Amino acid sequence: MTTPPAIARDVTNDFSLVVATANGTGSQTANLALLRACFHMGIPVCGKNIFPSNIQGLPTWYHIRVSKDGYVARRTSEVLVAFNQATVDADLRELPSGGVAVVDAGLAHGVERDDIHVYAIPVKALMAASEHKGKLRDYLANMTYVGVLAHLLEIPLDAIEAGLDAQFGGKRRLVDTNLAVVRGAHAWAVEELTKTDPFRVAPMDATRDLLIMSGNEAGALGSVFGGVSVAAWYPITPSTSFIDALRDYLPELRQGEDGVPTYTVIQAEDELAAIGMVIGAGFAGARALTATSGPGISLMAEFAGLGSFAEVPGVIWDVQRVGPSTGLPTRTSQGDLAFAYGLGHGDGKHVVLLPSSIEECFEFGWRSFDLAEQLQTPVFVLTDLDLGMNNWMGRSFTYPDQPMQRGKVLDADEVRERGFARYRDVDGDGVTYRTLPGNDAPGAAYFARGTGHNAQAVYSERSDDWVENTERLARKFDTARRLVPPALDERVEGASVGLIAFGTTRYAIEEARDALAADGLHCSSMRVRALPIGEEVRAFIEAHERVVVIEMNRDAQLAAILRAELPDLAPRIESVAYLDGMPFTAGFMRERIEPFLTPRSLEVA
Amino acid sequence: MDRPRTIASNAAGLSKADYGGSPSTLCRGCGHNSIASQIIQVAFELSLRPHEVLKLSGIGCSSKSPAYFLGMSHGFNALHGRMPAVATGALAANRRMRAIGVSGDGDTGSIGLGQFKHLLRRNTRMVYVIENNGVYGLTKGQFSATADEGLDLKYAGHNDLPPIDLCQEAIAAGCGFVARSFAGDAKQVREILKAAFSHRGTAVIDIISPCVAFNNEDDSPKSYAYGRHHEKPLHELGYIPFADEIVITESDPGELTTVDLHDGSRLKLRRVEEDHDPTNRIAAMTRLMEAERKQEFITGLLYYNQSRPSHAEAARLPETPLALLPEEALRPPPEALERTLQRYR
C-alpha cells in the first residue's frame, strides 16, 4: 500500500474518471449507471467508450468527464478504476500525480507510486455473499466499483438508483439485483476506507432540460421524424447502433392503420446492395437511407455516382472510423470527408452534412431527406464514432419547423398540364422535375440511367448533350450551397486569426479557445456544417489574416477543399490536421492553436 | 392452337404498338431483340397497364434492351450486376409495380452473382430475364461465367472453366420459379413470360440468346445452329389468364399437368419427353445436372413453388406503397417526440 499524499483542496465536479476493464465483462452497465447518476445530479457529463475491435477479452476504457463548466472534450483522467489485470500496470503508471486509483485487490501489479491515492477493493470477498453464480456474478462484480465510487465521490445512492433505473428501462428486478451489490460495496467503503483524495461531485442544476443520448440514436430518431420509409444496411462498426436505434424507434413511432408498419428495414448482403436499395427506393419515391462507415463508403462509390448522375435522392450516414482499409475499426476519425465529397468516378461532388452534436444529428436526420429530395441527389451525413457511439448531452430536440420538402415531383395532372422532360431545367436552378413510377399520365415515364442522356432522359453520346447536362448539374450544386445548413460564425471583434473546424473537434476547440482567451489570446471561429460551402465561409476567411483549419485526419482534407474552392484565399489557409484515433483533448488543441496566435492577434479590441 | 387472338386493342385499351420502345441499337439478328419483341407481345396480351410496370436492368447488351420495349413504363438502367438491389429498393418503395428486369450472363453470373442469389432469397416479386449468350459482347467477346467448358472462340481462345448454370443457382438460392428457354423459340418464351408475370416472388427465366457477333460459331453450344439441333423442350406451356375463356388445344391432353399460380390463374404443362415434376426441387436439380452432363438445354418451367412469401409480404409492407404515403403517415406528431425523449432525460 502506498502512502497517500496530503489532501489537496477539494476538486468538485471538475475531473475525469476512467474505468479500465476487459471487453465483454459487462462493465458498460456500471459505467452508464455512473454517468447517468451524475447527469441525474444535475452535473454536466460526457461518456466516452474506448473499446477494442473484439467481442470479449481485450482491454476497454470508459471515460466519464464531469465538468461544472459544461466541457465535454476528452481529457486525462485523474480517477482510475483498475479492474483489468492486462492493463493495470500501464493504467497505474499513466495516472497523473495526485490521482486516484480504485483497484481490484485481486489484481497483481508491480507499480509503487507514493504520489497517488490508492483504494483496493476486495471484489472477491464482497461478491462472496452474492447468491448469483457464473457470468451474472461476474457482471455484478462491476457494481462493486460503483458502490465504492459512490462513497468516495459522494454520489448519493438514490442517484445511482436513478442511473440504474434509466439503464434498465425501469425493470425493477434488474435494478434491485445490481443495487444490492452497489449498496454492499458502498457499506464496505464507508466502514473501511478513509478518503484521502480531493475529488468529489456535488449536486448542480445544469442538466435540467437536457438529454443524454448517443449521436447514432439522435440521428436515427431524426430520420424517423424525417419520414424514413426504407432503410437498407449492412452491419459495420460504428454505424450498427444507428440501425439498432432505428429498429427500436420505428415500431413504436411508425405504425400505420391496423398496426401495419409504414417502413421497412432491409439487412442487405453488403453495402453495395444497401446503397443500391436506397437508390431504387429513392427513384420510386420513398425516403430511404443507409448507415455505414468508411469501408462501406468505399463499396458505395459506384452507386453514389449513379445516384448523383441519374439524380436520385437518398441519405447515407457515414459514422467515420479510422481508415484507410480496415484501419482502426473502433476508433474515431474525420478521415472520410474528401472521399465522401467526391465519391464516384468522373466529375461531380456530393452534398455532405457535418453534424457536431446530438441536436444536429437529430436535425440533419430529418433535414437530410428534405435536401435529398429538393436536390434529387444522394446526401451524405458524416458523423464519427465518438459522436455516434458515445453518450452526449444536448438540448431537447426541436420538432421539424417546416413540412416535408418533397421537391419537384409532378403528379399525373401536372404532367398533363405542363408536359414533362426529366432533365430539362425549367426553373434555371439546375433542379429538374421528376415523376414517380405509377404516374399514369402519357409521357410521365422515363428511363433513369447512368449513361449519357439528353433532357428527355434518352441515351445520348452527343457532346453538346453531355456538356449541357453536366453544366446543369454544376448549377444544381450551386443551388445546394444556398440550401444546406450554413457554417456558424463566432466572430471575435478584432481577431486576426480564425479557426475553422467541423464535427466533434468543436468541443476540444471551444475549451482550448476559452483557456486561451483567459490568457488574453483571442481568435474567431467558424464551424462548417455542410459541403458545399456557402458565401459565409469566404466572408469569414476574408475577414481574417490567417485561418487555421482543424480536423481529425492526416491529410488536411477540409483545408484542401477550402484551398481548392477559394484559391484566391489559399495563402491564408493554415492547417492543424492530426489523427491517432482518439478524440482531441483541449490541452492538445491549445498546444496546436497557440503558435498561430502571435502577438499580432493579441491586438484585440 | 393456343395462339392468342390478335386484336387491335386489349383490355387496357391499348394496341400492341403502345408497348413498343425505342428502336434497338443491338446487332441485327441478336436474340435479345427477339426477346424484347416477346416481352412487348406478352405485355400486350396480358393487358398490363404500362404505368404499373417497372423495367430494370444492369449493364451490358442485355441491359440496354429495356429501352426497346414498354416505352410508356418507368425504367431504371442500373449498374453492372446491381439490378437486384435497385429492384429490391424500388419494389419495397412501391409494391404495386409489376417489375421486369433484363440481365445478361455477365451481369448475373459474374459481377452480379451475389446480388442475384440474395434477390432470390428475399423473393422480391419480379420477372428476372437473363439473356444468356456466354460471352461479353460489348467488350468484344470474352468468355462469361456461363460459357461452356472447352469452348474455343476466335477472340477469347480456349475456355478451361466449367460454366455456372444459372437455373441451378436459382433453385439453390430458393427461387420458386425457374425456367429456361431459347430466344429462337418465340412461342415458348412468350408462354413462360406470361406465367412469370403471375408468380408471387422472383421468377427467373434463363433464355439462351445467341450472340450473333461473338458466340455464334456453329459448334458453340450457344449458337443458333447448335440450339436448334440440341434444344429439348421439357414441356409445352400454355398460359390461360383466369378470366379468359381461351382453351388450349392439346394434342395429348392426358399428359397435362396443371399448376395453380399465385394470382389464381393457371399454368398448364405438358410432359413431352420425361415425367418431370416441376414442384420437385431435387428432381429439377437432377434434371439440370443431367442436361449439363449431356450438354443439352432443358427448356420449360423447371421448378415451381409458390409457397414462399414475396419480400413485400414477408416485410408486411402496407397496401399503400411506402412511396405514396402522405406526410401524416410518415412524420409522427410532436407528442411522440416528447414521449420518446423522456427516456433520455
Evaluate whether residue A570 is within a structural domain.
yes
Hey, are the CB atoms on A288 and B93 less than 8 Å from each other? yes
Please name every residue paired with A266 in a beta bridge, in sequence order, or none if there are none: A232
**Cα–Cα distance between A321 and A307 in angstroms, integer?**
24
A290: chain B residues, CB-CB within 8 Å: none
From the list B50, B74, B93, the residue facing A281 with the nearest CB is B93
Cell of residue B262, nine digits: 399465385
Hey, are the CB atoms on A284 and B84 less than 8 Å from each other? no
From the list B66, B89, B97, the residue facing A447 with the nearest CB is B66
Burial class of residue B139 (count of CB atoms within 10 Å of its CB; 0-12, 13-18, 19+): exposed
A99 against B298, higher pLDDT: A99
Hey, are the CB atoms on A445 and B71 less than 8 Å from each other? yes
**Cα–Cα distance between B180 and B222 in angstroms, integer?**
13
> pLDDT at position A103, please?
97
Evaluate whether residue A79 is within a structural domain.
yes
Q: Which helix (H) or strand (E) holds A65?
A: strand A59-67
B315: chain A residues, CB-CB within 8 Å: 264, 266
Query: Is residue A598's pLDDT more than 50?
Result: yes
Locate cell 459506384: which residue? Answer: A302
Band (pLDDT 50/70/90 cuts) for residue B277 is confident
Mutate to test the interface with B, among A167, A168, A246, A269 (most CBs of B within 10 A): A269
**Cα–Cα distance between B50 and B90 in angstroms, integer?**
16
> pLDDT at position B6, please?
53
pTM of the model as a whole: 0.93
> pLDDT at position A243, please?
98
Evaluate whether residue B224 is within a structural domain.
yes
Query: Is residue B261's pLDDT more than 70?
Result: no
In total, how many domains does chain A have?
A: 4
Give A416-472 pLDDT, tens digit per residue: 999 999 999 999 999 999 999 999 999 999 999 999 999 999 999 999 999 999 999
From the list B77, B79, B89, the residue facing A278 with the nearest CB is B89
Give A40-83 pLDDT, tens digit per residue: 999 999 999 999 888 888 999 999 999 999 999 999 999 999 99
From the list B79, B93, B96, the residue facing A230 with the nearest CB is B93
Q: Where is the domain boundary, A395, A423, A457?
A: A395
Residue B287: which domain range? 16-328
Q: Which helix (H) or strand (E) holds A303?
A: helix A301-310
Same domain, A462 and A328: no
Same domain, A197 and A329: no
Q: How many other C-beta atoms are found inside a 10 Å radius of the C-beta of residue A135?
A: 11
In total, how many domains does chain B have?
A: 1
CB B188 within 8 A of CB B232: no
Query: Is residue A114's pLDDT more than 80?
Result: yes
CB pairs under 8 A between A and B: 222
Q: At what angle do helices A271-284 and B113-122 cross, to 10 degrees?
A: 60
Per cent of chain B over pLDDT 90 is: 54
- Parallel/antiparallel/unpaired status of strands A497-501 and A524-527: parallel
Give B96-151 pLDDT, tens digit per residue: 999 999 999 999 999 999 999 999 999 999 999 999 887 776 676 788 888 878 87
From the list A249, A252, A445, the residue facing B74 with the nearest CB is A445
**Cα–Cα distance between A560 and A565 in angstroms, integer?**
9
The answer to ipTM > 0.90 is yes
Mean pLDDT of A203-232: 97
Beta strands in A234-377 (DSSP E): 264-267, 288-292, 314-322, 328-332, 351-353
Hey, are the CB atoms on A276 and B86 less than 8 Å from each other? yes
Mean pLDDT of B12-32: 89
Give B179-194 pLDDT, tens digit per residue: 998 887 888 899 999 9
A370 against B32, higher pLDDT: A370
Evaluate whether residue A64 is within a structural domain.
yes
Locate cell 409495380: which residue? Answer: B97
For residue B55, give the chain A residue with the closest CA. Answer: A447
Evaluate whether residue B77 is within a structural domain.
yes
> pLDDT at position A53, please?
87
Give me chain A's average pLDDT, please. 95
A227: chain B residues, CB-CB within 8 Å: 327, 330-331
Distance from the Cα of B103 to chain A's closest Cα (Å) equals 15
Same domain, A201 and A162: yes
The amino acid present at A395, given as its one-letter code, is: R
Same domain, A359 and A507: no
Q: Give me the CATH number covering residue B69.
A: 3.40.50.970
Half-sphere exposure for B43 (CA within 13 Å, toward CB):
31
Burial class of residue A357 (count of CB atoms within 10 Å of its CB; 0-12, 13-18, 19+): buried
Evaluate whether residue B242 is within a structural domain.
yes
Evaluate whether residue A594 is within a structural domain.
yes
Same domain, A142 and A245: no
**Cα–Cα distance between A226 and A400 in angstroms, integer?**
8
Hey, are the CB atoms on A439 and B92 less than 8 Å from each other? no
Closest CA to A277 of B316, B330, B76, B314: B76
Same domain, A324 and A371: yes
Mean pLDDT of B23-49: 90
B122: chain A residues, CB-CB within 8 Å: 266
Per cent of chain A over pLDDT 90 is: 92
> pLDDT at position B133, please?
80
CB-based contacts of A428, cutoff 8 Å, min separation 6: A475
Query: Is residue B30's pLDDT more than 50?
Result: yes
> pLDDT at position B35, please?
92
Q: Give me the CATH number covering residue A535.
A: 3.40.50.920
Evaluate whether residue A159 is within a structural domain.
yes
- Sequence-ordered alpha helix ranges (H) in A316-357: 337-341
A447: chain B residues, CB-CB within 8 Å: 55, 66-67, 74-77
Same domain, A243 and A390: yes
From the list B82, B331, B341, the residue facing A396 with the nearest CB is B341
Give A453-465 pLDDT, tens digit per residue: 999 999 999 999 9
Same domain, A357 and A378: yes
Per cent of chain A over pLDDT 70 is: 97
Q: Where is the domain boundary, A473, A505, A522?
A: A473
From the list A224, A436, A437, the residue facing B332 with the nearest CB is A224
Cα–chain center distance at A466: 39
Same domain, A467 and A369: no
> pLDDT at position B230, please?
62
From the list B22, B115, B329, the residue facing A256 with the nearest CB is B329
Evaluate whether residue B68 is within a structural domain.
yes
Hey, are the CB atoms on B85 and A396 less than 8 Å from each other? no
Evaluate whether residue A538 is within a structural domain.
yes
Closest CA to A126 of A107, A104, A109, A108: A104
> pLDDT at position B25, please?
86
Same domain, A546 and A466: no
Q: What is the 3-state secondary structure (H, E, C) of chain B?
A: CCCCCCCCCCCCCCCHHHHECCCCCCCCCCHHHHHHHHHHHHHHHCCCCHHHEEEEECCCHHHHHHHHECCCCEEEECCCCCHHHHHHHHHHHCCCCEEEEEEEHHHHHCCCHHHHHHHHHHCCCEEEEEEECCEECCCCCEECCCCCCCCEECCCEECCCCCCCHHHHHHHCCCCEEEEEECCCHHHHHHHHHHHHCCCCEEEEEEECCCCCCCCCCCCCCCHHHHHHHEEECEEEEEECCCCCCCCCCCCHHHEEEEECCCCCEEEEEECCCCCCCCCHHHHHHHHHHHHHCCCEEEEEEEECCCCCCHHHHCCCCCCCHHHCCHHHHCCCHHHHHHHHHHHC
The amino acid present at A467, given as its one-letter code, is: V
Hey, are the CB atoms on B331 and A226 less than 8 Å from each other? yes
Mean pLDDT of B238-265: 37
Hey, are the CB atoms on B324 and A438 less than 8 Å from each other? yes
Distance from the Cα of A451 to chain B's closest Cα (Å) equals 8
Residue A79: which domain range? 11-208
Band (pLDDT 50/70/90 cuts) for residue B266 is very low
CB A2 within 8 A of CB A92: no
Q: Where is the domain boundary, A420, A450, A473?
A: A473
Query: Is residue B223's pLDDT more than 70?
Result: no
Q: Which of A325-334, B33-42, B219-228, B318-327 has the lowest mean pLDDT?
A: B219-228
A264: chain B residues, CB-CB within 8 Å: 92, 315, 317, 322
Hey, are the CB atoms on B344 and A224 less than 8 Å from each other? no
Give A119-163 pLDDT, tens digit per residue: 999 999 999 877 888 888 889 999 999 999 999 999 999 999 999
Evaluate whether residue A567 is within a structural domain.
yes
Give A272-282 pLDDT, tens digit per residue: 999 999 999 99
Evaluate whether residue B248 is within a structural domain.
yes
CA distance to A397, A538, A541, per residue, from A568 (Å): 39, 10, 11
Band (pLDDT 50/70/90 cuts) for residue B240 is very low
N residues, chain A: 605
Same domain, A225 and A194: no
**Cα–Cα distance between A108 and A120 in angstroms, integer?**
11
A309: chain B residues, CB-CB within 8 Å: none
Give A290-306 pLDDT, tens digit per residue: 999 999 999 999 999 99
Evaluate whether residue B10 is within a structural domain.
no
Same domain, A379 and A495: no
Taking the CA atoms of residue A238, residue A288, residue A392 and residue A85 in that order, the dihedral angle to the nearest 10 degrees is: -20
> pLDDT at position B135, please?
72
> pLDDT at position B229, please?
59
Q: What is the 3-state secondary structure (H, E, C) of A449-500?
A: ECCCECCCCCECCCHHHHHHHHHHHHHHHHHHHHHCCCCEEECCCCCCEEEE
